[in-house]
Structure 1
Amino acid sequence: MARAPYRLAPSEIKELSEQLKELSEKGFIRPSSSPWRAPENRYPLPRIDDLFDQLQGSSVYLKIDFRSGYHQLRIREQDILITAFRTRYGHYEFQVMSFGLTNAPAVFMDLMNRMCKPYLDKFVIVFIDDILIYSKNKEHGEHLKTILNLLRSEKLYAKFSKCDFWIDSVQFLGYVIDSSGVHVDLAKIEAIKNWTAPTTPTEVRQFLGLA
């Protein structure tokens, strides 16, 4: 598929250059001669309310956020060429799973569900690259130890600066969760209340994406 790169603003061009440099230095991408390009596509995610049904009776939480979760999965050598993308700085391809691949969310969800299967519907919720551990109280330490050992054995790495340990209220997927239930995040409500009234189709789409 031959397609010109998307038009970018100067600030976006600067960001593109920095991202390409960082991804290349980490070995996540490499220059490509593949005839393919990889357009972005979204995969339907699990229903959030179905996930939250599991939380009844919980009062202690741990939220784990993976460090560039998708990039922790290597792509088979024979499949690398179909991840190719074109930029003003050249043609590249991913050696690790990228965020724009059509099936990336499905692949990561499948991995996490298979890995955490013994603990799902017991004390773990998985939503792509976010893990929530929920407990009544005393068993939380054991739950925490179980999942951290599991991640270590599977060589998956969390970004601990974005993890919350042993807390009685947690923000997760745009909601606040505590022992009394699941609540809408007040910060999100304030953002909607303070949003300038949209006047163009683009602004309407931006607002709907927020709301």
Structure 2
Amino acid sequence: MIRVLIADDQALIRIGLRVLIETEDDLEVAGEAADGRQALELARRLRPDVVLMDIRMPGVDGLSALRDIAADPLLAATRVIVLTTFEIDEYIFAALREGAGGFLTKDAEPDEVLRAVRVVAEGGSLLSTSVTRRVIGEFVHRRAPVAPDRLLSGLTEREREIVALVGEGLSNVEIAALLVVSPATVRTHVGRAMTKLGARDRAQLVVIAYQSGLVR
């Protein structure tokens, strides 16, 4: 059973997400929060698998709560999906950089929300979609890329190649087919790259791929 914590200051949004999640046999609502402070408290107490987190909430916002969740070793297994109205602003990139598994727009189709929860709960990310990559690229390209050697000096050539392909949005299976290796081999390289780069998850690998100039 995948346990989901809903954090949004709008009661209507929380109700809608609760009804949607409770229609599924493999999902359940662990709790609801109306601001970031409450979301963090409930996350620490309930240890949900996934948090659906609004960015803009009164008091402690979703970004601050996300940062605290990502930094808490007791919540290492809790993944966060950021909810946004899809305004192109710094919050979205910051959320991905801080460890969000991806983001959803509040007008996303129900099936998309359910799929997102399942993908992130299984350790995946929502960064293979063109819309997410476009948002990341928008903000990274506003800044001068960080010198690749500063970020990637500890990686092997194969690991660099695979990080670049992850940044392009390819799945492990797609990368394996392209490089003519097994998905298990790709998974091993991705895991090693994440460890070397200090990336919490695949989402942060995508950000690093853009920041370092591996993806343009």
Q: TM-score, normalised by structure 2?
A: 0.25
Q: TM-score, normalised by structure 1?
A: 0.25
Q: Which one has more relative contact order, counting CA pairs under 8 Å at least 6 apart?
A: 1
Computing the radius of gyration from Cα coordinates, the structure with the larger value is 1
